[in-house]
Structures are given as structure tokens and as C-alpha cells.
Amino acid sequence: MTSSDREPDDSGDPHDHDHDHDHDHDHDQELTEPTSKSVDSGGVAEFSVPEMDCPSCAGKVESSVQKLDGIEDVNPQVTTGKLSVSYDPERTNPKSIGDRVERAGYSIEGDGELTVKFTVPEMDCPSCAGKIESALDRLDGVSTYSTQPTTGKVAVTYDESSIDESDIVAAIESAGYEVTETDTGRETSADEDESRESIWTSTRAIKTWVSGGFTALGILFEFFLVGQNLELATVVGRELLVADVLFLIAVAFGGQTILRNGYYSARNLNLDIDFLMSVAIIGALLASLVFGEALYFEAATLAFLFSVAELLERYSMDRARNSLRELMDLSPDEATVKRDGEEVTVPVDDVVVGDIVVVRPGEKIPMDGEVVDGESAVNQAPITGESVPVDKTAGDEVYAGTINEEGYLEIQVTSQASDNTLSRIVEMVEDAQSNKTEREQFVERFSAYYTPVVVAFAVLVTVGSPYVIGTPWSTAVVYGLTLLVLACPCAFVISTPVSVVSGITSAAKNGVLIKGGNHLEAMGAVDVVAFDKTGTLTKGELTVTDVVPLNGNSEQDVLNCARGLEQRSEHPIGEAIVAEANSAGVGEREIEDFESITGKGVRATLDGERHFAGKPGLFEELGFDLSHVHATTDGGVVTQTAQQLCDRHNCLDLLEDTVPKLQSEGKTVVLVGTEDELEGVVAVADEVRPQAKRTIARLKDLGVKKTVMLTGDNERTARAIAEQVGVDEYRAELLPDEKVSAIEGFVDAYDGVAMVGDGVNDAPALATATVGVAMGAAGTDTALETADIALMADDLSKLPYLYELANDANSVIRQNIWASLGVKAALAVGVPFGLVPIWLAVLAGDAGMTVGVTGNAMRLSRLQPEGTENTETEGVEL
């Protein structure tokens, strides 16, 4: 329950202050994603200090660390229990920093361990990842690792005292894969961008095209120029014709990389596609040379077509990776900073907290910060998904990666490049793949049995078909080779993660941060969506909704008196009235003798005359007849608001009609007047978000079975808001633990429950729900840490988009799994009957399905939030 959930009940004093703040430390919630790493990235060390859970703790740690020589910046993060320290590597090191943390009385989790991410672009399939995992398994000192074929990343956590980074790089390269970059940005080989752009002109591609040329020439001599297909040589007693030699040359070019990778597979004991294809090619050559079966054509076909399949797979995976690269590329590499009275351009990594960054029209904002000078409209779509630019002036917060549309801005940097909102989003999107969906876990378990079973079937068909159905031995061997091609479940295994990556990155570009494939899957199975009221269905800010002038006073007169009375009040209702008066441009009043009347209202002397503001009971005590009050008329006609509330011309019954009607709409009523005259009525309410009603209706259209509002507000206000937005059910006057109980009840009764709240005070309910969705999480550390899914802007309309995306993602995953499995099974069954040639197994069973499932997954990027289908945003491809 948020503090603003406790709106004043009209049965009590609207000016009573509610200081019921919740300071409970929810350690379990804050550490739901514990880290056990200290990352030294060349000048920046990050430690996990779970006991540092309050500002006082952070202060002690910061003071202790700053005593070290060479410390540049200390950034303790209480909400995550993490400590980030910038330092000079020539003057200190992570171990010394860790010692200072411990001297402050706090232990470091995972002390001595280092986590590094390696970029391995050629690792683009599960079998590739398997070889790398096998190589890492043999390293002493590696505690955990995570391979992500969909992004070409390998994250390794290891003990610095046992091994170093070079040992891990060597292990990965021993598996046959090149490391192009580490998380420090250090280049170790050719530029990755160039390698991305040259898939079809790479060394392997050139060898593949040469192999294809010789294969085509071999086919020409084998089937068309039969008379010219002469004997050229004899090897181990077997004659080699022109076509045979051409096929062997094709194998030499096309099979070179395959056999190399197969060697690494064998070395790492991996029964993957490279090993199986190597066995198939070598088997075909041995059968030709040793047994005289003349399978050179099949060997060349395997080498060429599988090389083409690998290129297609790499291209398809690159398309999936591009969606994430677009997020990474949003932030500029350089920033213009004011230093020593001059503007200098520096790399963003050199910008420090407190620097003043200059951003001109059309430029991207390089860092998170606060505007200190200038004003402009900023396009925040890359971060929040908002289609309309947001006006920014001094004091407003801005985010890295957003675009300055028209004005000049000076921004004071508030976070380092590695810790800004965009960086956290990219990191969370990358890490989201480690939270595997239930389907992904099933696929991995199934694939562990699939390959051995199909290999055994291949052996059985090869050995048994000559005896059972009289197949010639040469044909039986071809059948076996074909089944070996089908034995690798690459397309099957990649079908789920590529869909998850596509869905999560697409959501991120539309202002929805999904922190794991499991949460995406769970959101698609939600039956109930529960909403917090304040700040979620409503704006969370009290505003004046009605002003009813009485006894000849105007609205300006009422606001003028109300402002004078409320100007010294710190209550949210008073602040709302003062804000409305300011916007209406009413004049100032001389205020004297301000006094709060406990439980009733306030009084003060305005320009020498005693005035009152408060609930109706206060004015009844002053002797006013609230059942018969004269409304102000304008030219003999009652004002519109008064007319709607009055049934006796210009006479109002405040007690039985006007006040109850306003209260039934969820509004708080304040009367304003003197000792002798009632001047007017002011109604204040927390306005419903304009998109709330449409969001509820859209969710129901998409298949949500039940929508419910959970609030700590009073019954009358809750009922009014529930009727306005159209939820199926509401529960009012709930404490935080009662919200949790309500969510638990829905979880027991339905398959899936989503809770939508502010991500801070609603943390227990968010954590209890199947899926927790935080509102307006851009730049909010706690919301980003605690929620499963975060709507980066205060835009409820993104919720139906999220639900539809999750449903579509689940459908795509199911389609990919069953299509890849079904095609493989159909081809495997058809092999013994001679229905599946080896080229079809390669192109359809391997390359075709990999391209197919990737392309199907990419369809998720086409889904857009309602109302943004035709919106084009600079800097990101929607």
C-alpha cells in the first residue's frame, strides 16, 4: 500500500496528517536475485555486500573505502546490496578495497571471485555452446558459467587465485571458438562489427562457394558428361574418376571447418552436429575407398550443403542478436563535457558523476542526469516507449539513450556509464536468458535423449536394412549417414531461446523490461490481473476537480480564500488547492493567525477577516444551514457544476445532495467560508489515468478472466474508482499483508496472477504474485530490482501489449518446438524407405528448420503497443 493510498476519509478531518510510513526491511525481497561476484573491469570493482542494507551501513562502508589511496568514486547501492568502486589500478586493487569493506564490519559475498563476460560470435548454436561448456568443465577454479548462443556471450565466474582470464580464453579457443571481446571492452582480434557484416564473404563462405563450384562440376561429369568422366588415378586399389576427384576437392574445401569442429567435439566428448557431420563425411569417404561403394557425391553434398546450412544459421542468429545490439547502440560513445570553462569531447566511460554534459538539438543524451540549464522536448521512446516527446526543464531527470529534440540542455551526470538506466536495461535483457522457461527446460531434457536415440536408429538402419528389406549396402550406408544428419536437435533446442530473446528485446524497445524468459512465459498464462489503485489506476497526485461558488462569490473568490487558508498547510489536499489556485492566477492574501482545528479543518485571518476551511461538520457548528444554500448564478443562470448538483434552481442541499454526490465519485469535499457566509465548495480527488478504462477493457478482450483492484483507500473511494475503470472486483482498506493474502487467494484459485503496482511499497504483493509488474520504473533502482516486469513509463496502455506479446511468444515457442520436432521425426521415419535424400535432410532438417524457427521468432518484433503502430522513433527500430 502506498502512502497516497491513505487518502483522507471524509468521515474524518481532511487535514489530519498521516505519517504512517513503512520502514520495514524486506531483505528477502531485495535479495531475490543475489549476486556472488566482485567484478574488476579495469578500474571499476563491484562487490556484493548483502549486509549493507541501510544508509547508515552504506555511509560506514563508503567512509572506510575512501581512506584508501587511489579511490576515485564510491557508489554504495543499499537497495541491491552492491558496492561499485572506481579506482586507479596503479595505486590500489580490488583486494585492498575488499579489505576496507571488511574493516567497516561487512562481509563480501563471493569474495575472491571474478565474473567476466566473453564475446564468442561463432558460438551460435547449442552444439557450439556444448563444446565450450565441456572445455570449461575441465578448468579448476571455475565456479559457474553461462553460455548464451542467442547473443554469442559466455559469462564465467572463477577464483582469481586459481586461474586467470587468459586461461579461460585458452579453454574457449581449445574448443575451436575465437574470443573477440571481454566485458572490459578489450579487443583480442578482428573487429566484431566487420565480422557481423561479412557473413557471406567470410573465409568460410568463400570456401563454401568454392566447394559448391567443384560439387557442381562433379555432378556435371557424374550425370551429364558421362563419356568424359575418365579414370584419373587409383588409390588403395580403387579407381578415381574425374567426378570423384572433383567431389574430393569439394570435400577438402567445404569440409575443412566441419572436420576441424568435429575434432574439437570429439576432444570435448560432445555428441553434436559437428561430430556427427564429420563422422558422416569420413564414413562416406571410407565406404568409397575401402568398400568401393562410391559415395564421393554424398560426401561432397554433405560438406557443401552443411556449410551453407551453417552460414544460414549464423545469418539467422545474427538477425536475433541485432535486436539486442540495437539497444546497446542507443547510447553514444562520446559526450561533450564542460571542464575548466571549456567544452571538451570525451568517451562516455571517462565521464564521472557530477560532470556537466552539454547536449544540443538532435543529439542523444549520453548519461543519466538532471537538467541544470536549458529546456527542450526529449524523445524518451528508446527507454520508456513513450511516443510523444516529454518537455524537460531545470530539475527534471533525463536518461541515457534518449534524444534531445529541439533545445539546448546542460545536464549534471548522476550515474556512471556502467550504471545508468540504459546499461541496466541492456544487462537485464542479456541476463534474462539465464531464467529459462519451463518449455526450454523440457527441450533441454528431451534433447539429451534425442541424439543418442537417433544415432542408435542410424546404426540399426545401416546394419539391419540389408537383411530386413534387402537394401543394398551402399544405400544402407547412405541411409545411416542421412540419419546422422538428423540426429542433432539444433533447431529444436534453439527454438525456445531465440523466441525469448526476440520477445524480450522487442518489449524493451517498447518500454517494457522483462527480466526473464520464465516471466514472459508466465505472463502469457495469467488469468487474473490485480491492480494497486494509487499511482497505478490513478495518477497518484491529488487535484482539484470541482469548485462550486456560493452566495454570489465566483470560482476565483473561492480559490482565493482557499489558497490563503491552505497555503501554510503541508497536507496533500492543501497542496492540491494551492496548485489549482496558482494555475488559475488568483491573487495573494495577507494571512494571519493560522490555526489547525483538530479533526475539523483550519482557520486563519485573511485581509483582516476570519475565514474557515474544512469538512461540513465544522460549518454546521458555526451555525450554517447546509440544507439550503444559495448557489452563485451567472446572469441569472446557475453555473454548470451547480446546475448538475442542484434541483431547486439556485438552491443547493449540501448535506443531503451535493456533498454525498461528490463523495460517491471518490472525491474529498472541503467547504470554504467566513463566520457569516459560506463562500464555496472545493472537491479534490486522485484522478483516474485516462488509459485505465481502456486498459481494463482491452485485457478482457485478450482473454484475462478477472481484473481486481486492491487498495488501502476507503470503501467509498474504492467503489467509485472501480466503477470508473471497470474492474470486476475491488477490495478496500487493505494493509500490505492483507494485499499479500488476497494475492495468495487468487494464486490458489487461478493458474496465474499478475500484480501491477509501484514496485516499492507494493513489493510484498508483487513478489507473491505469479508475475510482478512495476509501474514507471525508468531510473528507479528499487523497481528495476524487485519487479519481474517493469513498465518503464507510467503508461498502463503497455499492459495489454505485454499480455498479448507474452501470449504470442508462448504460441511461437509451441509452434517452433513442435514444427522442428515434427519435421525431424517425419524425415527420420522416411529415411529407411528411401523417401529422404541426404540433401533434403541437410537443407530441411538442419538449415531449413533453424532459419524457420528464427524467422518465426522474429515475428514477435512486429507487435506494437496500441496506438504506436505507425510511430517512427529516431534511434531505435520499432
Positions annotated as catalytic residues are 532
In whole angstroms, give the CA distance from residue 808 to residue 442.
19
Note whether 625 and 515 are within 8 A (CB): no
Q: DSSP alpha helices (H): ranges in 399-437?
A: 421-431
User: Phi then psi for 669, rounded to 5 degrees?
Assistant: -105, 130
- For residues 326 and 361, is the Cβ–Cβ distance under 8 A? no
Q: What are the angstrom distances between the C-alpha of 878 and each of 315, 510, 658, 685, 778?
A: 21, 7, 50, 37, 19
Single-letter amino acid code for the residue at 780? T
In angstroms, the CA 511 to CA 761 distance is: 22
**Position of cell 515475428?**
859
Three cell numbers, residue 588: 495573494
Cα separation of 415 and 421, whole Å? Answer: 9
Number of helices (H), then strands (E), in the chain: 30, 36
CA 366 to mean position of chain CA atoms: 20
Q: Which of 775, 768, 780, 791 is nearest to 32 (CA)?
A: 768
Determine contact, residues 674/560, Cβ cutoff 8 Å.
no
For residues 602 and 623, the answer to whether their CB atoms sit within 8 Å is: no
User: How far apart are the C-alpha atoms of 862 and 866, rounded to whole Å?
Assistant: 12
By CB atoms closer than 10 A (0-12, 13-18, 19+), residue 432 is: buried
Residue 566, SS3?
A: helix
The answer to whether the beta carbons of residues 849 and 824 sit under 8 Å apart is yes
Find all residues with CB under 8 Å of 829, minimum gap 6, and list them. none
Q: Are 739 and 1 in contact (CB under 8 A)?
A: yes
Coil, strand or helix at 134 = helix
| CB contact set of 802 (below 8 Å; sequence gap of 6+) | 507, 512, 514, 523, 773, 789, 791
721 class by beta-carbon count within 10 Å (0-12 exposed, 13-18 middle, 19+ buried):
buried
Complete DSSP assignment for 593-615:
EEEEETTTEEEEEETTEEEEEE-
Burial of 687 (0-12, 13-18, 19+ CB in 10 A): middle
Nearest to 611 by CA among 579, 642, 654, 568: 568
| The three three-digit cell numbers of residue 553, written as one number | 462569490
Hey, what's the cell of 418? Answer: 556502467
Greatest Cα pair distance in the chain: 124
